[in-house]
Amino acid sequence: MSFELTILGSSAALPTAKRFPTAHLLHAGERFFLIDCGEGTQIRLRQYGINPSRIHHILISHLHGDHVFGLFGLLSTLGMMGRKVPLKLYGPKALEGFLSYYSKFFGPLPFELEFVISSENEDFVFENDNLSIRAIPLKHRTPAYGYLFREKKKLLNVRKEQIEAFGLGLEDLVKVKRGEDFVSKSGAIIPNSQLTLPPFHQRSYAYLSDTQFDPSLAAKVKGVDLLFHEATFSEKDKKLAAQTQHSTAAEAATLAKLAGVKKLLIGHFSSRYKEPLLLENEAKEVFDNTTGVNDGDIYSIPLERLSGE
Ligand SMILES: [Zn+2]
Ligand SMILES: [Zn+2]
């Protein structure tokens, strides 16, 4: 089971030769989730060998051009590729109005667009047996949302030798897989941990872009495996960050530290910095396990069992 993030675009508003505006792709289980769709997203998908027709969910953080200008091109391509299955779009209310211009000017698409509106209630915008996605309101110049992807608890694997040893029947197995202890015919209680392999760790990824520094976000992304936090500006441009409701690299790292995340990724770099390593270094002074992302980077979280048997 894959849980893998590909960076398709790592720049802020202005693209550069090496960095396209923001877009991420999360491959979780069998599904591909496109997160934001800056200009050039479909070109990056092709470059990185990802067939765009495999995407069924597109999550948009907010209606600033560097996060949505790639949508029209991508929708057009999907139409030309003969897509028939619906495409789900998640984002602020204005997203539906924005996309209505597509059909107005370029004709109807041969597939349906289904909208899920992200709201201030921090709702789950997606949920199935394996994964949930929660929308997290951000503080930016227009309604904006981050997204938290978290795997669901999986059923436990029962140790084969214990099935025989304790004579577990089908009904017992269902209960034990859910985490219950087993009570034998003689009334002895066999603890669940003795019957099952350790559970799998629930992998998680949080995407927070664009936002001013907001320490209250820490509780919402507490302990995630991977946090992406925008880091548009350097510390010396802190005033500019505040004026535009963006974050500095050190602020992104402070949030990571407060939340106790395992790893921090920073990006959405302003093109004014010719060497974004400067931003990575500023962040590392606050939170060491930080990486400044580049287009084409892949971050994979392995499926591991929790230790502590
Ligand atoms: Zn942006
Ligand atoms: Zn923005």
Task: List, in order of start, the domains of the chain with CATH numbers.
Answer: 3-154+200-238+245-251+258-300 (3.60.15.10), 160-195 (no CATH)
**Residue 309: which pLDDT band, with cuts at 50, 70 and 90?**
very low
Cα of 16 from ligand 1 centre, angstroms: 14
| Residues with Cβ within 8 Å of residue 70, at least 6 apart in sequence | 21, 23, 37, 38, 39, 40, 41, 42
Which residue's structure tokens are 């140790």? 159
* 214 is a catalytic site residue: no
Average pLDDT, the chain: 96
Q: What confidence tens digit (pLDDT) does each residue in 246-277 have?
A: 999 999 999 999 999 999 999 999 999 988 89
**Using an 8 Å Cβ cutoff, are 53 and 81 in contact?**
yes
Report how far ligand 1's centroid is from the alpha carbon of 162 (Å): 54
* Residue 302: its H or E element: none
Of these residues, 66, 172, 214, 225, which one is catalytic?
66
| pLDDT attached to residue 125 | 95
